[in-house]
Chain A
Amino acid sequence: MEIIAGILVLLMIASAIAAASFQDLMNAVIASCIVSLLAALLFYLLQAPDVAMAEAAIGAALVTGIFVIAVKRTKRFEE
């Protein structure tokens, strides 16, 4: 179990760094979506199914949707 948690945390940090470094905002948004999704999994591992459910629905779906709409409306690439 700890191994799984460690891998998930590593993946999460990696995708957060990816979100920070991508010049393409759409990619950054997808990376942050992955961060949220992995965070939801970690919540589940931490015995917090309620929060995991909320994080999955909101962090992974709604926030990403909002960001996608916003990026589509503005510039896609970071200057």
Chain B
Amino acid sequence: MKLEILLAVVFGGSLLTYLLGKISKRARDILAILVLLAATAGIASLYGRSSTAILCTGFLDFPLVLRIHPFAWIFALTIAVVGLCAVIFSWHYIRKKGRTDFFYFMMLLVISSMIGIVLSGDFLSFYIFWEIMSWSTFLLISYNREEAIAAGMKYIVMSVAGSLVMLVGMISLYTQTGTLVFEGITRNLNSASSGYLQFILILFFVAFGIKNAIWPLHVWLPPAHSEAPSPFSSVLSGILIKIGTFGFILLIYGIVQVQVFVNLGHALFNVRNLLLLLGAVTILLPTFIALLQDDAKRLLAWSTVAQAGYMILGIAYGTSESLSGGTLHFFNHALFKSLLFMVVGAVEFRTNGVRDLNSLGGLIKKMPVTFAAGLIGVCGLIGVPLTNGFVSKWLIYHTLIVNHSPFLAFVALLGTWGTILYSYKLIHHIFLGQLPRKYEQLNAAPVSMKVPMIFLSLAVVVFGVLPGLPLHVINLSEIGFGMEPLAINMWGVVTGSGTIQMLNIATALTLGGIVLWLFFRMGRKNTRADQLDNYAAGAPVPADRYQYSVKFYDPLTSMIAPYLKDTADNFYSALARGIRNVGNGIRRIYTGDVGNYVMYIILFLAILIFIQLYWKVW
């Protein structure tokens, strides 16, 4: 499929979906799914291709260029597939709410513009699609009104700031190189000085970092993710913030070549070290902040921030193995994080909007499929072997350890430890423990929610067992960037200092599982005891008091909470307060008396005249 036609299909399809919704709701839902299916098929048919297409030659005297290459292909495919799952998930979810046409339209528009971003071949079209994405995202975050408006505001303010910084970078690049097409910039950037490159990189890092939620720029993300409607949360967390990751890869590997990037600046003061440091902080702080959350979606949102840190580590490290790890982690994270948001969304849908972990529990009996999906997702998030997170995290750890970065490796491992803690909290509080009385009549998730969840769970497992599939595409893109590809096969990776073969691991684990199963089979049969069938000192205790999933990590929480204030958020609040105070101070001179205003003007004039009379300046 040609690139122009692909873009026309997705953008036209979104508009058509909106119009069709005025006629028939059912047809609209089907059309939305069909559009994304077509997009998925179209992107899939572009596999392995590297080509460019001119979309339009004379837009503001700049050419608009589209291009496809393996690296854009894997992003585009992920976007289309996760978008498709989210749209299928919306089928039942959104029906309870109003303005469904608008929701579908915006959802498709966001997905279309993201596809446009990854396919764009010059900065102008990149920027245009970027802005479409930002603003439609804002509308979707604010979809639920009330608190969501504030969350959306927070998002759009930061997003606009990032866009403006990016615009400055673009203009600077244009004046330096005379073109906005990526290839031309790469060609003309050879002569640029190291200081200029660092300046450009920092400008773009701010823009992409806001979208990717790197630590001091992440403040918009937790409220936005938790307030957005759940299908969109999964898109937001799964792929939208990864557009920032895409930008990082594009900039570091596609435009400023990676050899240049690694050798930039002085020993300590270079953007690479800065980025690595920020990546480490991004892993460490949000992981433990996530541990303190009681809101399921907010917990997942903080987890997203933390996982983005792994990708930043992988990308900024600058070896082909780390890039593989970072890109693979993007791919895996898109799968399991959107899966987890769908799980939470399904629970929220059935319990009428309950997201508070402390009031849920025991839903495994009511929603077994959702539980299974959630378990697989959480395993992927932690990086349990046989799920996809394992391979990407292994690659990142391996890079860090082999290249002698003990501190970063330690931080990454510590982050995983925290990930295990909060993942367990999530799965336990929702699905395990006692079932509250009020949820005894709960139904399982509807089919439209089960289908994408099952699909994504399967994907998590399949790509966990067969990591060679995505790694093959990543290798292609690394060849495209002029780097040495990893030695891979279908089951894993072979490096000089260590090998990972999922076949062996799978065999070992299966054997171990069989042994364990036999062991337990041979032991005593366990018996199931009623919750109230225990000794309570003769006093009957109501069942709801046995809610073991409240204040789960209380001791740990009280230990670490004082150190985990969201300092970035507080900093921005303080900044806003300071600006407001200064503004109020300045407003003092605007007294509302017209005479005073004229007095200021006359005063200024008089000073000018005085200067002229005294010094004869002009």
User: A contacts B directly in the complex (CB < 8 Å)?
Assistant: no
A interface residues (Cβ-Cβ under 8 A, vs B): none
